[in-house]
A = this chain, B = another copy of it.
Amino acid sequence: MCVEPARHSDLAMPAIEGYAAFRDALLGAGLLVATGVRGLYGRSGLFERVCEGFDALATREARRVAQGSDYEVLRFPPLIHRGDYAKIDHIRNFPDLMGSVHTFLGSEGEHMAMLEKFEAGEDWTRSLRPAEVMLTPAICYPLYPTAAGTLPEGGRRVDLLGFAFRHEPSDDPARMQVFRQREFVRLGTPEDAIAHRDEWLARGEELLARLGLQPKRVVANDPFFGRGGKLMKATQREQELKYELVAQIVPGEKPTAVSSSNYHLDHFGLAFGIRSAGGGVAHSACIGFGLERIALALLATHGFDPKVWPREARDVLALD
């Protein structure tokens, strides 16, 4: 009897189309674990290995990009100082995505009163007070306040990894409420920032292509809130401040950003008093890779079993 070996296309979920179906397939395969909240998932060991494989690949690539001038590694937890949050205009531009952290600061009597509401099924959270922290909407935000002052000659290159939060419950498994970004940030002159953006976009495109994805570079805009946000979107696009690398993730739906690069002009330099070595207000740019989205794009493209992925993708991600 002649048994043909499985081809990739057989495993690439030919019958799945749409956000909910793709999500359910991932849950069914145990790659993600449902929590009962839309956009909040546990990750399996296999899913994590794919994320870690890309993370290590990005580390190797950063060494090539930096060419001797190493990236400083910094890791921030998923929270940001409430006072710093107030300086980045997020409350104006993306209030619907924010995560404000509240806690209980009251007496034992107030605790009893809160528990009574809790037990009666009423809104007990009115007894809470805002804590000193917010969930961070992007993992480079906590960096800028720590960079206040004058940058060293040549500026700074910083390597970040962490969880970002965006309140956008969705059936699309690629739109998680809390997800990891691997970021490379450049602080310095406008030329430094633009060169960083351009170089990393090219490198990112190349990396993703080596993995067998078909990334496309597009000018993009952030999802600014409300009618007033329309102008912000148009300006951002006109000035080409935001580029995304998009790839096919959800079968039957439009491509999703797996990487995003932002040139912030002097936004953070002004907000946090960062000056370049020459004395001018520092400019900044970042490129971020969405680890979960890249893993999802690979699973959607090559199938749910990495053992049958193309040789080069397996090698580059050290999946053996």
Residues of A within 8 A of B (CB): 33-38, 40-45, 48, 72-84, 86, 91-92, 95-105, 108, 111, 114-115, 118, 123-125, 128, 130-133, 135, 142-143, 145-146, 159, 163, 165, 167, 169, 176-179, 225-228
Contact = CB atoms under 8 A, between A and B. Distances in A.
A37 B125 contact: no
Given A74-B43, A79-B177, A81-B40, A98 B104 contact: yes
Chain A residues touching B, majority SS: mixed
A35 B44 CA distance: 32
A43 B75 contact: yes
B91 A115 contact: yes
A278 to B, nearest CB: 24
A40 B79 contact: yes
Contacts of A179: 77
Given A86-B118, A95-B114, 10 more contacts: A33-B74, A35-B81, A35-B146, A42-B142, A42-B143, A45-B74, A78-B78, A79-B178, A96-B103, A101-B101
A83 B128 CA distance: 17
Given A100-B125, A133-B177, A226 B75 contact: no
A131 B111 CA distance: 21
A167 B95 CA distance: 24
A92 B100 CA distance: 22
Listed residue (A76, A115, A176) with the most chain B CB atoms within 10 angstroms of its CB? A76
